[in-house]
């Protein structure tokens, strides 16, 4: 069996051949003959989506020939999803950004000239010096954003701590900030959901089987708890549920309120827990009972039969370890914050907090932070995107509020430049026209990315970053119940002239530090004093103005130092050879069929010693004129005029937002998106499978093919996010399907400033 068979034909058919297929600009021919000589398996962390799974890359003669799952990582449980498997085509994508580019045409028309890294840096420096000088050293005129999880802190350290801008934006406000905030403000921690430990699981809208989150998606299959799914669309998660409860879009809160009502009315809640941990339970009880959120009331809102709501509620509160899944996806509607809070409260009422199968606090590894010398700028002003937002994320801000204020010139100062890293803002937030207008108003737009996205096409300078397989990143701590460390190792050297983010920032820092220091010296009185006192050289150094401080040592050296000093050499070795470390890594037990137990059950951090309260009532909200407790308002009702539809969005298992639609392998499975429309409605409108439709929203219209199906509610339309790319440089994705954010209205809720994705009503007509 171990005979090595490498017949000529087989080899030609091998993966290398496939790589060649996808990489016309790269020649492997000289390497083919000598292949299958050395095989190396290098541990890495996937970056095809935000989730991060671990894998081993098989490398033959400097070419990655296969990505395989890593069995050592508790989070991803020895699996790679289709996107993870197709990562090989991300590095060898022929459309990749290969060289630094400077724009020579108009924004968006895709005309660029290839330049050297130095020329690119020089160009950026000249622009920045002028802008910052003109803005009298208000560094916040340079906004910066980052849509990637890894390296975000490094990026913030550069532009925030060193360059001194307050305006950082990330994907949180177009993603899940309300959920994080609701959990934090209700039980004092964002926690982690122990899906594996739960015996009764309710999921509202989150499509865990088509938008994989490890380990949740995997645990749902393996732990075989009762699964109840609420969704206006019959997703794969719904198909796999024990009970699927179709409901009107945006009415999940009514279901939750009714569950709370039933729990209180029938005294189903965990009384000891409530007594010990709840704050203002009386207020909650009074509020819920007064509003009479009965099952039949909820039926009128959700369309779920009252009997069903009662049955599910009783089962849930009667279960040993029930979990109401808090969701993890975009924000839906104005009530999203209180919807997530209602979910947290349901878990808390059942006592499912800080215990097996509930929201657990756990015990994550806390990595020491590398200390850097932060620069201080007196003339740098604060952020403005949280003005008018009750809480908001101090870190990632509110994208839509930011954009609106910049566009309407209601910001206290102009934002004139933007650094965008791995954040396709031209596709990822509602109302693309406004994003375009915002970028068109900038004096400088710099994009760091691997692909020529729609956003890259708006840049003045494009800096090609290498993909996740071509770089080492700083070590990351994962999870709370079964905590581990994981390290993204470099698998192959960066292709073309691409560089890691750290190398890019290092180069940029060398170029920027002194000239920008000179601008500060011109305006900043404290700095002038300091220069007088210490001399320019020392003032520069001690004031933290050297942008390259963090990058004096390579990532490899920094990782080694950090890990060895905090955890010891063995941990470092494990991270380099297995990509992962946790205390039981040598002792993990195979349960069956390549599926492992990582932490022994008794060693998992189900319950930790922690003082916390469950806050039923948020006074700050009341003061700001919002509901302090989850409340239903009549304008949340799902009511539409007869010929209009509610547009909801989501994604395919084979695509991650807009980042993967150009992937030649994934394209095989979903080349474009289709519009889901209820089959009976379609029949009435004489719409057949494959018909071309125009969707009109109040802001724009898009063209898409119809998919009549019984799996969606009447008056609801769905199509997947990530398609409708306008960048012609993405040759596989260009012109395929429709872009949801073209037509989704740019509304945002005011508690966290999050874009509400499911509040747009549209009409359709056949083309």
Partner 1 sequence: MARYGMALDYKNCINCKACEVACKEENGVELGAEKHRIWVGANNPDGQWPLLDIASAAFLPSQCQHCDDAPCQEVCPTHATYYDENNVVRVDADKCILCSYCMNACPYDARYVDDRTMTVDKCTFCSDTRLARGETTTACQNTCPTKVRTFGDLDDPESEISELLRTREHFSLKSHLGTNPKLFYLT
Partner 2 sequence: MKIGPINIPLKEDFSLKSILGFEKTPMNMLVAVLTLAFLAMFVVGVATYLMHGHHAYNVTREHPWGLLIAVYIFFVVSSTGFCIVGSLGDVFGFKDYMMISKRAIFGSIVTILAGFAVIAFEIGHPVTMLIYNVLSPGLTSAIWWMGTLYGIYLTFMIVEFYFLLNNNMQKARIFGLIGLLVGLAAHSNLGGVFGFLNARTISNGVFYPTYFILTAFITGIYLSFIIMGFRYKMNFDEKTKALLVGLAKIQTLLIAILMFFETWKMLTAVYGGMPNRAEVAEHIMHSGAFMYGEVLMGMLIPFTVMLLTKWRSVTTYVWTSVIGMVGIFFMRYDLVHDTQLKPLQMMKTHEYQLPPSWVEYFPSATEIMISLGGLGLCVLLYYVGTRAFNLDEEH
Residue 341 contacts partner 2 per CB under 8 A:
no
From 648, 661, 577, select the one nearest 233 (Cα to Cα). 648
> Is 239 or 703 the residue whose CB approaches partner 1 more closely?
239
Residue 371 binding: pick among partner 1, partner 2, none (C-beta 5-8 Å cut-off by kind): none
Residue 565 binding: pick among partner 1, partner 2, none (C-beta 5-8 Å cut-off by kind): none
Order the strands of the 580-581 sheet from edge to edge. Answer: 476-478, 484-486, 580-581
> Is 99 or 244 the residue whose CB approaches partner 1 more closely?
244
Which string of x and - marks every residue 518-557 that binds partner 2 (by CB under 8 A)? ----------------------------------------
Chain position carrying tokens 């020895």: 78
Query: How is residue 245 annotated by DSSP?
Result: E
Residue 43 contacts partner 1 per CB under 8 A:
no
Residue 239 binding: pick among partner 2, partner 1, none (C-beta 5-8 Å cut-off by kind): partner 1
Residue 489 near residue 477, CB atoms below 8 Å: no
Residue 85 contacts partner 1 per CB under 8 A:
yes
From 535, 525, 463, select the one nearest 499 (Cα to Cα). 463
Which string of x and - marks every residue 655-684 that binds partner 2 (by CB under 8 A)? --------------x----x----------
* Residues facing residue 692 across a β-bridge: 705
Chain position carrying tokens 């003669």: 61
Residue 202 contacts partner 1 per CB under 8 A:
no
Buried residues in 364-397 as b, exposed as e (16+ CB within 10 A): bbeeeeeeeeebbbebbbebbbbeebbbbbeebb
Buried residues in 718-754 as b, exposed as e (16+ CB within 10 A): bbbbbbbbbbebbebbbebbbbbbbbbbbbbbbbbbb
Q: Give kind and range of the element (H or E) at residue 65.
A: strand 63-69
Residue 209 binding: pick among partner 1, partner 2, none (C-beta 5-8 Å cut-off by kind): partner 1
Residue 718 contacts partner 2 per CB under 8 A:
no
**Contact residue for partner 1 among 66, 560, 736, 747 (CB under 8 A):** 66
> Is 358 or 737 the residue whose CB approaches partner 2 more closely?
737
> Is 150 or 209 the residue whose CB approaches partner 2 more closely?
209
Q: Give kind and range of the element (H or E) at residue 435.
A: helix 432-440
Residue 689 binding: pick among partner 2, partner 1, none (C-beta 5-8 Å cut-off by kind): partner 2
> Is 10 or 267 the residue whose CB approaches partner 1 more closely?
10
* CA–CA separation, 97 and 95 (whole Å): 7
Residue 206 near residue 325, CB atoms below 8 Å: yes
Residue 589 binding: pick among partner 1, partner 2, none (C-beta 5-8 Å cut-off by kind): none
* Among the residue ranges 230-238, 261-269, 356-364, 756-764, the one whose residues contact partner 1 (CB under 8 A): 230-238
> Is 178 or 715 the residue whose CB approaches partner 1 more closely?
715
DSSP assignment string, 451-489: S--TTGGG-SEEEEBP-GGG-----EEE-SSS-EEE---
HSE-up (13 A, CA, CB side) for residue 489: 23
How many CB atoms sit inside 10 A of residue 586's CB? 8
CB of 482 to partner 1, least distance (A): 17
* CA–CA separation, 699 and 436 (whole Å): 14
How far does CA 302 lie from the centroid of its chain?
A: 29
Query: How is residue 60 annotated by DSSP?
Result: E
Question: Residue 533 corresponds to which tokens in the numbers above?
Answer: 């006192």
Residue 766 near residue 352, CB atoms below 8 Å: no
Residue 707 binding: pick among partner 2, partner 1, none (C-beta 5-8 Å cut-off by kind): partner 2
CB of 690 to partner 2, least distance (A): 8
CB of 275 to partner 1, least distance (A): 39
Residue 589 contacts partner 1 per CB under 8 A:
no
Residue 723 contacts partner 2 per CB under 8 A:
no
CB of 701 to partner 2, least distance (A): 22
**Contact set for partner 1, span 333-392 (CB under 8 A):** none
Phi-psi bin for 327: left (phi > 0), alpha (psi -120 to 50), beta? left
**Contact residue for partner 1 among 272, 369, 408, 593 (CB under 8 A):** 593
Strand, coil or helix: 372: coil
CB of 707 to partner 2, least distance (A): 6
Residue 21 contacts partner 2 per CB under 8 A:
no
CB of 202 to partner 1, least distance (A): 16
CB of 706 to partner 1, least distance (A): 16
* CA–CA separation, 296 and 304 (whole Å): 9
Residue 12 binding: pick among partner 2, partner 1, none (C-beta 5-8 Å cut-off by kind): partner 1
**Contact residue for partner 1 among 61, 68, 548, 624 (CB under 8 A):** 68
Residue 598 contacts partner 1 per CB under 8 A:
no
Residue 483 binding: pick among partner 2, partner 1, none (C-beta 5-8 Å cut-off by kind): none
Q: Is the peptide bond before 661 cis (omega within 30 degrees of 0)?
A: no
CB of 756 to partner 1, least distance (A): 24
Residue 707 contacts partner 2 per CB under 8 A:
yes
* Residues facing residue 201 across a β-bridge: 227, 323
**Counting Cβ atoms within 10 Å, is residue 7 exposed (0-12), middle (13-18) or buried (19+)?**
exposed
**Contact set for partner 1, span 292-311 (CB under 8 A):** 303
* CA–CA separation, 335 and 348 (whole Å): 20
> Is 594 or 689 the residue whose CB approaches partner 2 more closely?
689
> Is 337 or 478 the residue whose CB approaches partner 1 more closely?
478
> Is 269 or 707 the residue whose CB approaches partner 2 more closely?
707
* CA–CA separation, 569 and 563 (whole Å): 8
Residue 390 binding: pick among partner 2, partner 1, none (C-beta 5-8 Å cut-off by kind): none
> Is 545 or 652 the residue whose CB approaches partner 2 more closely?
652
Residue 689 contacts partner 2 per CB under 8 A:
yes
Buried residues in 159-198 as b, exposed as e (16+ CB within 10 A): bbbbbbbbbbbbbbbbbbbbbbbbbebbbebbbbbbbbbb
Question: Residue 161 corresponds to which tokens in the numbers above?
Answer: 């701590």
**Contact residue for partner 1 among 163, 182, 234, 495 (CB under 8 A):** 234
* Among the residue ranges 231-239, 251-259, 390-398, 512-520, the one whose residues contact partner 1 (CB under 8 A): 231-239
Question: Residue 55 corresponds to which tokens in the numbers above?
Answer: 């894998």
How long a stretch of residues is the chain?
Answer: 767
Residue 595 contacts partner 1 per CB under 8 A:
yes
Phi-psi bin for 502: left (phi > 0), alpha (psi -120 to 50), beta? alpha
Which residues of 526-673 form beta strands (DSSP E)? 580-581, 589-592, 595-597, 614-615, 645-650
**Contact set for partner 1, span 238-267 (CB under 8 A):** 238-241, 244, 246
Question: Residue 595 corresponds to which tokens in the numbers above?
Answer: 């599926």
Residue 595 contacts partner 2 per CB under 8 A:
no
Residue 674 binding: pick among partner 1, partner 2, none (C-beta 5-8 Å cut-off by kind): partner 2
Site residues for partner 1 per CB under 8 A: 1-7, 9-10, 12-18, 21, 39, 66-69, 77, 79-82, 84-86, 88, 209-210, 212, 214, 217-218, 221-222, 234, 236, 238-241, 244, 246, 303, 592-595, 653-654, 664-666, 668-669, 678-680, 709-714
Site residues for partner 2 per CB under 8 A: 669, 674, 689, 705, 707
């Amino acid at each position: 069996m171990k005979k090595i068979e490498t017949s000529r034909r087989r080899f030609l058919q091998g993966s290398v051949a496939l790589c060649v297929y996808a990489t016309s600009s790269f020649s492997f021919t000289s390497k083919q003959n000598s292949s299958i000589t050395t095989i190396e398996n290098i541990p890495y962390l996937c970056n095809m989506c935000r989730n991060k799974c671990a894998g081993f890359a098989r490398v033959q003669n400097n070419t990655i020939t296969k990505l395989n799952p890593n069995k050592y990582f508790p989070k991803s449980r020895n699996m790679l999803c289709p996107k993870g498997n197709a990562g090989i085509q991300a590095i060898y994508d022929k459309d990749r950004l290969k060289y630094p580019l400077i724009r020579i045409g108009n924004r968006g028309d895709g005309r660029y000239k290839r330049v050297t890294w130095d020329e690119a840096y020089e160009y950026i420096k000249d622009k920045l010096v002028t802008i910052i000088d003109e803005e009298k050293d208000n560094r916040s005129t340079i906004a910066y954003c980052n849509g990637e999880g890894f390296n975000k802190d490094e990026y913030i350290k550069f532009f925030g701590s060193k360059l001194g801008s307050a305006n950082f934006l990330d994907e949180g406000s177009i993603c899940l900030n309300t959920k994080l905030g609701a959990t934090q403000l209700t039980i004092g921690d964002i926690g982690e959901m122990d899906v594996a430990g739960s015996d009764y699981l309710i999921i509202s809208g989150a499509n865990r089987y088509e938008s994989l989150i490890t380990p949740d998606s995997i645990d749902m299959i393996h732990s075989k708890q009762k699964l109840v799914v609420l969704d206006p669309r019959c997703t794969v998660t719904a198909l796999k549920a024990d009970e699927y409860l179709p409901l009107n879009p945006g009415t999940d809160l009514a279901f939750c309120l009714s569950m709370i009502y039933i729990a209180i009315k029938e005294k189903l809640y965990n009384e000891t827990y409530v007594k010990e941990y709840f704050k203002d339970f009386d207020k909650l009880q009074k509020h819920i009972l007064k509003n009479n959120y009965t099952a039949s009331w909820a039926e009128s809102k959700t369309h779920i039969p009252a009997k069903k709501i009662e049955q599910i509620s009783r089962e849930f509160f009667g279960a040993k370890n029930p979990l109401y899944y808090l969701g993890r996806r975009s924000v839906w509607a104005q009530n999203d914050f209180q919807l997530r809070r209602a979910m947290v409260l349901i878990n808390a009422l059942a006592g499912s907090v800080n215990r097996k199968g509930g929201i657990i606090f756990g015990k994550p590894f806390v990595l020491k932070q590398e200390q850097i010398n932060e620069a201080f700028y007196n003339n740098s002003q604060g952020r403005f995107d949280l003005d008018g937002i009750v809480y908001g994320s101090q870190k990632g801000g509110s994208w839509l509020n930011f954009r609106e204020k910049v566009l309407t010139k209601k910001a206290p100062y102009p934002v004139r430049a933007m650094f965008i890293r791995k954040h396709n803002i031209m596709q990822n937030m509602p109302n693309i026209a406004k994003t375009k207008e915002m970028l068109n108003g900038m004096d400088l737009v710099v994009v760091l990315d691997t692909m020529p996205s729609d956003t890259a096409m708006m840049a003045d300078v494009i800096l090609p970053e290498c993909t996740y397989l071509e770089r080492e990143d700083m070590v990351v701590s994962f999870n709370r119940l079964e905590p581990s460390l994981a390290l993204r190792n470099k698998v192959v050297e960066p292709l073309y002239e691409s560089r890691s983010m750290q190398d890019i920032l290092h180069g940029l820092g060398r170029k920027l530090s002194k000239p920008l220091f000179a601008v500060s010296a011109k305006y900043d009185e404290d700095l002038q004093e300091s220069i007088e006192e210490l001399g320019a050289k020392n003032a520069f150094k001690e004031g933290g103005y050297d942008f390259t401080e963090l990058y004096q040592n390579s990532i490899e050296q920094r990782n080694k130092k950090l890990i060895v000093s905090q955890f010891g050499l063995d941990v470092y070795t494990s991270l380099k050879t297995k990509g992962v470390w946790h205390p039981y890594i040598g002792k993990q037990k195979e349960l069956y069929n390549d599926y492992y137990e990582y932490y022994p059950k008794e060693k998992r951090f189900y319950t930790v010693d922690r003082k916390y309260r469950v806050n039923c009532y948020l006074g700050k909200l009341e003061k700001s004129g919002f509901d302090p407790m989850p409340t239903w308002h009549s304008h949340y009702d799902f009511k539409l005029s007869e010929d209009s539809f509610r547009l909801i969005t989501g994604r395919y298992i084979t695509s991650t937002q807009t980042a993967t639609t150009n992937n030649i392998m994934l394209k095989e499975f979903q080349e474009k998106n289709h519009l889901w429309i209820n089959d009976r409605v379609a029949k009435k409108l004489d719409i057949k499978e494959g018909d071309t439709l125009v969707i009109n929203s109040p802001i724009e219209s898009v063209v898409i093919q119809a998919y009549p199906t019984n799996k969606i509610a009447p008056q609801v339309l769905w199509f997947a996010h990530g398609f409708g790319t306008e960048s012609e440089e993405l040759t596989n994705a260009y012109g395929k399907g429709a872009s949801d954010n073209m037509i989704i209205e740019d509304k945002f809720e005011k508690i966290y400033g999050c874009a509400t994705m499911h509040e747009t009503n549209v009409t359709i007509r056949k083309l």
